[in-house]
Amino acid sequence: MNNYRKSRYGNGKKYGGPRKRGSYYQSARRIKRLDPQLFIKKAETVMAKEYKAQNKFSEFDLVDQLTKNIVSRGYVEPTAIQDQAIKPMLEGRDLVGIADTGSGKTAAFLIPLINKILLNQQEKGLIVTPTRELAKQIKDELMLFTQGMSIKSVLCIGGVPIRRQIQYLSRRHSLVIGTPGRIKDLSQRRRLKLEEYTNVVLDEVDRMLDMGFIRDVKEIIMKLAKNRQSLFFSATIPEKTRELMRAFLTDPVAVSVKTGPTARNVDQDIVRIQGKNKVELLHDLLIKKEFRKVLVFGRTKWGVNKLERALVARGFKVAAIHGNKSQGQRQRALQELKSDKIQVLLATDVASRGLDIDNITHVINYDPPETYDDYVHRIGRTGRVGKRGVALTFVG
């Protein structure tokens, strides 16, 4: 019996108090319909054949300084999405990129954008993401690729004072990276003149639509320059996304490098609660030495806060991120996990997309995800860059 199968046995009362009727109750009912068997899958012992790139970064028609920065970052050969998407983007084509998490898509769209701006300083680009964390991560990667260049960018996200962003937008800049709500706000104030932006990247399009941003996204795109290059990146293409693509893309190139519905090198299993105290079960897992860097997902902000207090009281090094945390608090928590100052990061689904944290050993779904797509994106935080990961889901 492996270490975490021990926690499947026991009896007692279900964790938590009685549910109130309303949206949360209905959401919980929908969650129950997910078959627990969906959360059980062994990592493939035979790894997929390594992708053989058809191009080298030195063979793309890039400005010399950009090529040097790419090499200095340790990039040797393009990943599949980079190999197949960079060339048509450099040619000015609209593009839809469908790729698994951790596939290198951020570099895939940043490299052509940077090159385009280096060749023509009049070009301006807008990068729209569903979460503040992803926007900040893209900004950080952009700064690494543009070292020694005069390309300026502005981060436009909620949770931080808008006044400073307005100040930065008044200065010369080439790129804006932000979330839909803040971008829309700045546009309505006429501090962000969207008609000046000739390039747009929508990253994690399906997630933005899931989060209810479809109206904001449509409004943003309609205000952009008519003659523009549009790039859509998504892990899945639901019908709402297809509608958006048909409305705003022109003769797009489609690049799909998805390898499967869930991470291939993630061991997926369930932990049966069967009435046991969930905090006790989680405690028993976290004290095992192999649980070195753990991401734990809860359904609600209230539940995550309560679990944080319980784990801190038990001596665990833990932090939490969710919608009620300030942007500074969220960034500090992520940095503490990256630098191993904490063992456990608790999160609502605000953290399930796009975060690039190395060496997550385990993802634990303390509360089951609402949809299977949410599950896929949660467990995509582990088993990255060819490493083996483990995903455990608590079920009744």
Residue 166 lies in a domain: yes
Chosen domain end from 256, 277, 293: 256
**What is the 8-class DSSP label of residue 213?**
-
pLDDT at 375: 86
Confidence of residue 290 (pLDDT cuts 50, 70, 90): very high
d(CA 75, CA 150): 22
Same domain, 178 and 294: no
Average pLDDT of the chain to the nearest whole number: 85
Q: Which of 146, 127, 130 is nearest to 210 (CA)?
A: 130
- The reply to whether 73 and 109 lie within a common domain is yes
> What's the pLDDT score for residue 381?
83
Determine the pLDDT at residue 28. Answer: 37
**pLDDT tens-digit profile of 25-63?**
333 334 445 777 777 776 654 344 567 889 989 889 999
Q: What is the domain range of residue 355? A: 3-46+261-395
Q: How far is CA 283 from CA 9, 278, 279, 298, 314, in A?
A: 15, 8, 6, 15, 8
| pLDDT given at position 207 | 81
DSSP 8-state symbol, 41: B
Residue at 52 is within a domain:
no
* CATH number of the domain residue 104 falls in: 3.40.50.300
Assess whether 134 and 177 both reside in one domain.
yes
Contact 204, 233 (CB under 8 A): yes
Q: Which of 256, 289, 323 is the last residue of a domain?
A: 256
**Cβ atoms of 273 and 14 closer than 8 Å:** yes
Q: Are residues 233 and 270 in the same domain?
A: no
Domain count, the chain: 2
State pLDDT tens for residues 65-114.
999 999 988 888 899 999 999 999 999 999 999 986 677 899 999 999 99
| Calpha distance 39→45 (Å, rounded) | 18
Are 7 and 84 found together in one domain? no
User: What's residue 8's pLDDT?
Assistant: 33
Residue 23 in this model has a pLDDT that exceeds 70:
no
**66 and 154 housed in the same domain:** yes
Which of helix, strand or coil describes residue 168? Answer: helix
Encode pLDDT of 127-174 as tens digits.
999 988 889 999 999 999 999 999 999 999 998 899 999 999 999 999
| Residue 51, domain member (yes or no) | no
- Convert the pLDDT of each residue in 185-227 to its tens digit: 999 999 999 999 999 999 988 888 877 888 999 999 999 999 9
**Residues 66 and 170 occupy one common structural domain:** yes
Average pLDDT over residues 174-187: 97
CB 185 within 8 A of CB 145: no
152 occurs within a structural domain: yes
